[in-house]
Amino acid sequence: MTALCDRSATELSAMLRGGETSSVEITASCFQRIEAVEDRVRAFLARREDAAQEQATAADSRIASGGAPAVAGIPLALKDVLSTRGVETTCGSKILDGYVPPYDCTPWKRLKDDGSVLLGKTNCDEFAMGSSNENSAFGPVHNPWDLTMVPGGSSGGSAAAVAAGEAIWALGTDTGGSVRQPASLCGVVGLKPTYGLISRYGLIAFASSLDTIGTFTRGVRDAAMLLSFIAGKDLLDATSLDTPRRDYTEGIDGGIDGLRVGVVREAFGEGVEAGVESSVRDAVDRLAGLGATVGETSLPHTDYALSAYYLIAPSEASSNLARYDGVRYGLRVDGADSIEMMTRTRGAGFGAEVKRRIMLGTYALSAGYYEAYYGQAQKVRTLIIRDYEAAFSDFDVLVSPTSPTTAFPIGAKVDDPLAMYLNDVFTIPANLSGMPAISIPSGLDEKGLPVGVQITAPVLREDVLLRAAFALEQAIALEGRPRLVTDLAA
Ligand code: GLN
C-alpha cells in the first residue's frame, strides 16, 4: 500500500473529505518518513513536529465541520528564504543564523489561514545563489535518487523533500531556475508562475526583478491546486499583479488537440546530454501524439541570456544584501568601531559564492561601468522578451529541456562557477522575460536519474501551461521512485 506521505495532495484532500484519513495521520506519516531518510537526504534545516501536529489537529476539526478549503490539513515544507513568523529563517546563511521573522510571507500566511500544516523549513543555497545546494552554510542536500548526487538548487531541500516523501508538497523560489532545475533533477513537478502572480512579500530578496515563488509537487494537478491558493494581488507587494483569484485546476484536463507547440532550437545544442535530449524529444513526440501541432522555433538571443542574468542578478543582490550589517538582525561580530563591526560581520557571515556575487554586482553598478554592464544587460533583457513575443505569435507553448544535464555528483562543479552557471542556461530566459514555465519529469536517463522537460507559456497563460503539462504528464506517467523510498516499502 502506498504510504500517505507518498500520495498526491489531490488524492489526500479527497481522502480527508471522505473521512478516510486525517491530517494528523498524514502529518505523522511525513514525520515517519523524515525520521527514516533525513539523516541521508538532509532536506530540512528546521523541523517543527509538535507545532505541525497542533495545526493538523486544528485542520481535522475544521474539515469535520465542513467547508474547509482543499489545502486544509495537507503538510507543506517551505524553503528557508520564505519568512515564517516565530520560525527561524536563515536563507542557508550564517549571517541570518538565529533570525526569527516577526511576520509571515504572504503565500504561507494564505495557506496557514486556509488550514495548511507546516512541517519545517528546507535547506537551500545561501540566499538562493546556486544550482546544486552546495552553497548552503549548513551542508549539502543529497538527491533521493542517488545520494552521491546533488538535488539541484537553489531550492534543493524542497525538491528532495517532495521526491523522498518527506513532504506532500513544498514552496521554493525561482530567480534563474531554482524551482524548475531542482524539480528536474529530483523527478518532481516544479512550477514557476508569471513574475508578479504570487506576492513576494516576506520572500527574502535575492534579485527583486527576477525573484518568483514557485511550487514543488508530485503532479501537475497539485501544482494547479497549490497555485490557486497562493496567487493573486497582495497590497503588501506593489509588484504583485492585480489578477482575480481563480481555480487553476479548472479546465486542466481539457486536452491539447490543436495546441501549437514550438520546440526551441537553441535548447538542443552543445552541452546537452544525450539522455536528456532523447527523453525530451520523446516527450515532444508524445505531445504530437496527443494532437498538438509541433514545429521548430528559435529564441535567437538565448546565448546572451546567461551573461545578462549574471550581471542583473548580482547587481540587484549587491544592493539587497547591503542590509546585513550586523546592526539589525542575525550575526554580529564585534569590532573597534561600527565600520569594523560591519566588515567583520559580513566577512564571517557570507559564504564564498555570495561574496563573489556582491563583488560582481557592486562592480557592475559602479560609476563609469554602469552603462557598459548593467545598462547593456537590461537591453539584452528586452531582446529576450522580444524573442519570446515572436515565438508566441506562432506557438501557444514552447518546449525545451529544463536542464542540460541530469543530477551530477556532489563536489563535481564546486570549483568551477562557470560550469555551475551553465546549468541554468534554459531556465534563465523565463526569469528575464517574466514568462511562466514548468518542469515535469519526462523519464529517466541511462543512469536511472530523472530528466525534466520544460514548457513555457506567455505571461499569465498559466491555464494553457498547466493544460499542456497535465496532458503530457498523463501520457508519460513516470514509473519508478527513488530507491531510497522503494527500499523502505520492501
Ligand atoms: N542557479 C541560479 C543562480 O545561482 C539561479 C538561482 C535561483 O533561481 N535562485 O543564480
Highest-confidence range of 211-225, 266-280, 471-485, by mean pLDDT?
Answer: 211-225
- Say yes or no: CB of residue 131 within 6 Å of ligand 1: yes
Q: Which residue has the cell 496532458?
A: 471
| Predicted local confidence at residue 265, as pLDDT | 95
pLDDT above 70: residue 407: yes
Which band of pLDDT confidence, cut at 50, 70 and 90, is reported for residue 322? Answer: very high
The closest of 484, 360, 421 to 177, measured between CA atoms, is 421
**Ligand 1 centre from 2 Cα, in Å?**
34
Catalytic residue among 178, 184, 228, 400: 178
Which band of pLDDT confidence, cut at 50, 70 and 90, is reported for residue 480? Answer: confident
* Mean pLDDT estimate for the chain: 96
| Predicted local confidence at residue 483, as pLDDT | 83
- Say yes or no: CB of residue 130 within 6 Å of ligand 1: yes
pLDDT above 90: residue 347: yes
- Which atom of ligand 1 is closest in space to residue 423's alpha carbon? 1
pLDDT above 90: residue 115: yes
Phi and psi at residue 414, to the nearest 5°: -65, -30
Mean pLDDT on 145-156: 97
| Predicted local confidence at residue 279, as pLDDT | 97
Mean pLDDT on 182-189: 98
Q: What is the pLDDT of residues 233-292, one digit of tens each?
A: 999 999 999 998 899 999 999 999 999 999 999 999 888 999 999 999 999 999 999 999
Catalytic residue among 13, 93, 116, 154: 154
pLDDT above 80: residue 105: yes
| Predicted local confidence at residue 329, as pLDDT | 86
Percent helix, strand and coil across the chain, each to the nearest 5:
45, 15, 40
| Predicted local confidence at residue 490, as pLDDT | 65
- Say yes or no: CB of residue 438 within 6 Å of ligand 1: no
Which band of pLDDT confidence, cut at 50, 70 and 90, is reported for residue 394? Answer: very high
- Say yes or no: CB of residue 313 within 6 Å of ligand 1: yes
Mean pLDDT on 193-197: 98
Which band of pLDDT confidence, cut at 50, 70 and 90, is reported for residue 479? Answer: low
Which band of pLDDT confidence, cut at 50, 70 and 90, is reported for residue 3? Answer: very high
Which band of pLDDT confidence, cut at 50, 70 and 90, is reported for residue 79? Answer: very high
> Catalytic site residue 178?
yes
For residue 191, what are the β-bridge partners? 215, 438
Burial of 333 (C-beta count, 10 Å sphere; 0-12/13-18/19+): middle
- Say yes or no: CB of residue 177 within 6 Å of ligand 1: yes
CA distance 97 to 330: 6
pLDDT above 90: residue 477: no
- Which atom of ligand 1 is closest in space to residue 353's alpha carbon? 4
- Say yes or no: CB of residue 176 within 6 Å of ligand 1: yes
Domain 4-259+460-489 is of which CATH architecture? Alpha-Beta Complex (3.90)
- Domain locations along the chain: 4-259+460-489
pLDDT above 90: residue 127: yes
- Which atom of ligand 1 is closest in space to residue 206's alpha carbon? 9
- Which atom of ligand 1 is closest in space to residue 129's alpha carbon? 4
Look up residue 35 and give its three cell numbers: 525520521
* 488 vs 106, residue with greater confidence: 106
Catalytic residue among 22, 23, 79, 400: 79
- Say yes or no: CB of residue 424 within 6 Å of ligand 1: yes
Q: Which residue has the cell 486544509?
A: 72
> Catalytic site residue 319?
no
**Ligand 1 centre from 88 Cα, in Å?**
22
- Say yes or no: CB of residue 175 within 6 Å of ligand 1: yes
pTM for the whole thing? 0.98
| Predicted local confidence at residue 488, as pLDDT | 84
Mean pLDDT on 15-43: 98
* 270 vs 127, residue with greater confidence: 127
Which band of pLDDT confidence, cut at 50, 70 and 90, is reported for residue 419? Answer: confident
pLDDT above 80: residue 489: no
Look up residue 139 and give its three cell numbers: 551542508
Substitution site in 80, 129, 180, 428 for ligand 1 pocket (most atoms within 8 Å of beta carbon): 129
